[in-house]
Amino acid sequence: MSIVHSYWVYILASKPRGTLYIGVTNGLIRRVEEHRSGSIRGFTQRYRVNQLVWFQEFCRIDEAIQREKTMKEWPRDWKVNLIERENPHWQDLYPSLPGVAPARKL
């Protein structure tokens, strides 16, 4: 029996058309939660880049890594166009991911 793994390339934004971050992970929910909590020191913490605005799933890690590397070389306009084709209002996609607990109302 073969175990199926998933890998994701994702884009986080600080706000619509704001600062962008591209990453790759084998656990999209966990990784976005790490960015949001500030437990990952560095770029995303410093610039408050924590809204998930785009992601793509892959079955093979080498394909995901290649996609991430390629996208990081793209001009900013290409990245913005990619996001806006699928997410024209720059909505935070994290709450809509299967398995994410609904936000509590205060």
Q: Where are the alpha helices (DSSP H) in the chain?
A: 28-37, 43-46, 61-73, 76-86
Q: What is the pTM of this model?
A: 0.92
CA gap 55, 12 in Å, rounded:
9
Which tens digits make up the pLDDT trace of 2-22?
677 899 999 999 999 999 999
Which tens digits make up the pLDDT trace of 34-66?
999 988 889 999 999 999 999 999 999 999 999
Structure tokens at 7: 């890998």
Compute φ and ψ for 97, nearest 5 degrees: -70, 135
